[in-house]
């Protein structure tokens, strides 16, 4: 093991023991490159992953608190909730699929901003499990999914870091993302401080061993993860990813 790998392993271990339970969710705070990262690893064979936007009357849920309460009414306990992909003022910026229902179509346009820092991509769950695909590839696949949220840029694609990212970039902000380690293992990450795209991508690939990872959003990102003391219940979102215990 080289010196760099040893440093990464040490950074993971010094963060302390993971907080997890029998529901297949393990949460911890990891020190990496001088930044604390909140990490929630999920085993989809044990926990349920939901994507939420609207309440029963079509109203926007918006906050982590509202999402948690809606899940509670359905008999589910929220183990972690975070914002999904980038959105505009009234709708998600791209594909949004809940419980197999497409509520917003995929967006293959080219504009400015992080969403359109190509390649961008889609995080999804289908009958085979979780995955991340580049947006054009996803559209061509005509894939039937249970859940999907589109965002951009792709942090890592098949083990390759986004070509626009650089290790010496001055652009460092609070950022969140989702990585896929295997069809049954995903990882949600939110930085507590400013981090470069490049460093976040390397963390997903080399520390979390996720060959595919997608940026979710920036400074507005929030996380509810009581296992590690994160009880934020605010936000102003169009979509939220929620990890829950299945209803009885």
What pLDDT tens digit does each residue of the chain (248 aa) get? 343 433 343 334 334 445 666 689 999 999 999 999 999 999 999 999 999 999 999 999 999 999 999 999 999 999 999 999 999 988 999 999 999 999 999 999 988 899 999 999 999 999 999 999 999 999 999 889 999 999 999 999 999 999 999 999 999 999 999 999 999 999 999 999 999 999 999 999 999 999 999 999 999 999 999 999 999 999 999 999 999 998 76
Structure tokens at 184: 């049954």
* Number of neighbours of residue 56 by Cβ within 10 angstroms: 7
User: In this structure, what are the phi and psi dihedrals at residue 161, rounded to the nearest 5 degrees?
Assistant: -75, 145
Verify cis geometry, omega within 30 degrees of 0, for the bond prior to 153.
yes
> What's the pLDDT at 142?
84
On the question of a cis peptide bond just before residue 15, with omega within 30 degrees of 0, the verdict is: no
State how far the Cα of 210 lies from the Cα of 228, in Å rounded to an integer: 22
pLDDT for the residue 4: 41
How many Å apart are CA 248 and CA 220, to the nearest integer? 33
Q: Which of 3, 10, 2, 21 is nearest to 207 (CA)?
A: 10
Cβ neighbours, 10 Å, residue 64: 26
pLDDT number for residue 246: 80
Report how far apart, in Å, the C-alpha atoms of 79 and of each of 72, 133, 192 are: 11, 26, 19
Question: CB neighbours (10 Å) of residue 36?
Answer: 15
Residue 21: its pLDDT value, please? Answer: 61
- Measured CA to CA, the distance from residue 200 to residue 43 in angstroms comes to 21
Residue 215, both tokens:
């940026």
What's the burial of 111, exposed, middle or buried (CB within 10 Å: 0-12/13-18/19+)?
exposed
Counting every residue written for the chain, the total comes to 248
């Amino acid at each position: 093991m080289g010196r760099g790998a040893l440093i990464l392993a040490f950074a993971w271990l010094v963060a302390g023991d993971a907080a997890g339970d029998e529901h297949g969710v393990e949460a911890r705070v990891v020190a990496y490159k001088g930044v604390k990262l909140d990490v929630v690893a999920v085993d989809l064979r044990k926990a349920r992953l939901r994507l939420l936007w609207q309440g029963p009357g079509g109203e926007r849920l918006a906050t982590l608190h509202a999402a948690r309460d809606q899940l509670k009414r359905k008999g589910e306990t929220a183990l972690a909730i975070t914002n999904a992909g980038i959105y505009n003022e009234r709708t998600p910026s791209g594909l949004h699929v809940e419980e197999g229902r497409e509520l917003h179509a995929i967006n293959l346009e080219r504009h400015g901003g992080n969403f359109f820092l190509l390649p961008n991509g889609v995080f999804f769950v289908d009958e085979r499990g979780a995955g991340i695909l580049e947006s054009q590839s996803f559209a061509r696949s005509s894939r039937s999914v249970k859940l999907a949220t589109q965002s951009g840029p792709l942090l890592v694609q098949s083990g390759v870091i986004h070509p626009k990212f650089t290790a010496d970039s001055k652009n460092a902000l609070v950022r969140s993302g989702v990585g896929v380690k295997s069809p049954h293992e995903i990882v949600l990450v939110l930085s507590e401080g400013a981090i470069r795209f490049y460093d976040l991508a390397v963390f997903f690939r080399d520390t979390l061993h996720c060959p595919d990872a997608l940026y979710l959003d920036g400074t507005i990102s929030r996380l509810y993860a009581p296992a590690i003391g994160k009880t934020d219940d605010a936000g102003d979102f169009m979509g939220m990813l929620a990890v829950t215990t299945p209803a009885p």
